[in-house]
Structure 1
Amino acid sequence: MTFTDCCTKGFEWEGTPTGTEAKLGNNDTYITGNSPDVAVLLVHDLYGWKFPNVRLLADHWAREANATVYVPDFFGGEAVDLSLLEANRWDLIRPFIAKNTREIREPEIFACARALRQAPLNYKKVGAAGYCFGGWACFRLAAKEHDPPLVDCISEDVDGVAGAAVPIQILAPEKDPAFSPEMKLHTFQKLQELGAPFDYHHFPGVEHACFIRGDTNKEGERAAMARGKNAAADWFKQWLQDAREKEVNAQGA
């Protein structure tokens, strides 16, 4: 089985995504789940919003955290050639990355999060998750500068903790050039200073992109993908669905 075959078959892990495509604000979006009160914004990585494993992950979270999960297209309809990712041809991928920097994509990511809070959706609880490209986006969504807050909790796998003000979960592969041991230590120390609950998961023996790729040819990667999925689902259930139920019960008391 090739790397690309592993990527495109994915999760369950081999299955067909069950959601639909529609618009969230101005962005084409994969939507799965039917909760009227709890939403999760999944900011995709370089594999893009149509990558099967991204959508299957969203399906799992929708079922297991009882949420409606949104995966907008933040690459303007374009996609990275998976063969370039397979070959680690970063020299050919960098032009694509340059077209999708934080400065370029941040406004629409914020706009999608706001759309979840506003009419006609009006979600009461909103979480965010991101891998690689989506990691910085999650921490920007959680920053203290937003009043009212854009999200109620986040789960992600890279650095970017400055200013975060909501419950934070980090999924950290052992081998990750984008998240060095020094940066991991800094992150752990910084999280303790923020005063918000946090959850830090270390994944020994696996590398960057394991939570989406799930390559069965890489030892331990499929198990890491499943463990990461479970951790995030539990996190969202606790800080979104369970928190919402407590609010409803308090209002009815």
Structure 2
Amino acid sequence: MSCPDCFKGGVHEGTPSGITTRLHGLDTYVAEPASGRPPKGIIVVIPDAFGWEFVNIRLMADGYAKKQDYRVYAPDFMNGNSAPLYMLDSMKLVLAKGTWFDTLAKPYHIFWVLLAFAKWGIPNRFAKSFPIVQKFMENLRRNEGAHIPVGIAGFCWGGKHTLVIAGDFKADGKPLVDAAFTAHPSFLSLYDDIKKIRAPTSFGIGDLDSQVSPEQAEKIRDIIEAKPEAQKGEMRMYHGYGHGFACRVDAKNDDPRGAAEAEDQALAWFEKHFANVRY
């Protein structure tokens, strides 16, 4: 398994308040501004392995919509092939140091984790999933996003998709996104994915992240801060946090403040870079 940490964490408590609909060919969770005002912009959330139905992702979408009057989409970019939630519990048992019974039971849990990983990973490999993301974003920009800012926020699996979409992709002469945010992205091609970024992009990386080391994060910082002013990015290191902290923090056992701060980081970034967008 290439990223055990991609399947660790907890399920958050709460009831999503948005709706589900069919949008640009995909089932999509939609969160609207609570104020009833027209949205100031659109943010597309590309989730971690647990997909668009994961309650954590939907609650995050609600938070983005309510706090800053954005319309937020969380599409099913995995076409029904998201990872099963039982992997969160199985991974805990695989990695736990417990009794002799726990040790004897590990092969059973390892089998189910590997099976679920294969069933998730094969249909969601980047070469197959990225065209789905690209098509959705092109349709969005040509339609409801034609005259308002569009942002994208990606987590873990969705992080690489976010960074590639933030490159030199356009529809009707407009960039597909005006700003991007990613927390603990996975499966990156370092540093080519970073060098190709054109939209201003904000990164949130934990210094205990298994996918991007502190040294790699600092190299990313050097690259994005050296870009032209209109493309310049930012990097924030979250000390004491590992992979998945922004969307799968286990609030019962870990400090949830990093997740809240990452959400604030994303919203502040979008506010800053949406302010002067005119189409």
Letter in 2 for 1:205: G
Instruction: Tell me the residue number matched to 1:27.
Output: 26
Letter in 1 for 2:159: G
Instruction: Tell me the residue number matched to 1:100.
Output: 124
TM-aligned CA deviation for residue 210 of structure 1: 1.2
Deviates further, 100-109 or 84-93: 84-93
Instruction: Tell me the residue number matched to 2:178.
Output: 152
Asked whether 1:117 is paired with 2:151, we answer: no
Instruction: Tell me the residue number matched to 2:105.
Output: none
Which secondary structure does the structure 2 equivalent of 1:206 belong to? coil
Distance 1:227 1:183, change over 3 A: same
Instruction: Tell me the residue number matched to 2:250.
Output: 215
- Unmatched 5+ stretches in structure 2: 1-6, 92-109
Q: Do 2:156 and 2:244's aligned partners in 1 also have CA atoms closer than 8 Å?
A: yes
Which secondary structure does the structure 1 equivalent of 2:196 belong to? coil
Q: Do 1:29 and 1:73's aligned partners in 2 also have CA atoms closer than 8 Å?
A: yes
TM-aligned CA deviation for residue 7 of structure 1: 3.0
Deviates further, 44-53 or 137-146: 137-146
Asked whether 1:234 is paired with 2:273, we answer: no
Q: 1:4-83 alignment to 2 at 5 Å?
A: 7-8=10-11, 10=12, 14-34=13-33, 35-36=38-39, 38-83=41-86
Supply the distance in 2 between the matched residues of 1:173 and 1:86 (Cα, whole angstroms).
Answer: 22
Supply the distance in 2 between the matched residues of 1:86 and 1:203 (Cα, whole angstroms).
Answer: 25
Supply the distance in 1 between the matched residues of 2:248 and 2:258 (Cα, whole angstroms).
Answer: 10
TM-aligned CA deviation for residue 108 of structure 1: 1.1
Aligned residues: 236
Letter in 2 for 1:143: G
Q: Do 2:226 and 2:232's aligned partners in 1 also have CA atoms closer than 8 Å?
A: no
TM-aligned CA deviation for residue 121 of structure 1: 5.4
- Unmatched 5+ stretches in structure 1: 249-253
Q: Do 1:125 and 1:151's aligned partners in 2 also have CA atoms closer than 8 Å?
A: yes
Q: Deviations over 1:67-110 (max 9, x none)?
A: 10000001111331222233335533134212101110111101
Q: Do 1:140 and 1:164's aligned partners in 2 also have CA atoms closer than 8 Å?
A: yes
TM-aligned CA deviation for residue 62 of structure 1: 0.9
Supply the distance in 1 between the matched residues of 2:57 and 2:144 (Cα, whole angstroms).
Answer: 26
Q: Do 1:39 and 1:116's aligned partners in 2 also have CA atoms closer than 8 Å?
A: no
Instruction: Tell me the residue number matched to 1:193.
Output: 226
Which secondary structure does the structure 1 equivalent of 2:222 belong to? helix
TM-aligned CA deviation for residue 214 of structure 1: 2.2
Q: Do 1:37 and 1:122's aligned partners in 2 also have CA atoms closer than 8 Å?
A: no
Asked whether 1:87 is paired with 2:90, we answer: yes
Asked whether 1:137 is paired with 2:171, we answer: no
Letter in 2 for 1:136: K
Q: Deviations over 1:118-142 (max 9, x none)?
A: 2355342100010011111111111
Which secondary structure does the structure 1 equivalent of 2:87 belong to? helix
Supply the distance in 1 between the matched residues of 2:161 and 2:83 (Cα, whole angstroms).
Answer: 19
Aligned-pair identity (%): 25
TM-score, normalised on structure 2? 0.78
Which secondary structure does the structure 1 equivalent of 2:235 belong to? strand
Letter in 1 for 2:241: V
Q: Where has structure 1 moved over 4 Å in runs of 4 or more? A: none
Q: Do 2:225 and 2:234's aligned partners in 1 also have CA atoms closer than 8 Å?
A: no
Instruction: Tell me the residue number matched to 1:174.
Output: 207
Instruction: Tell me the residue number matched to 1:251.
Output: none
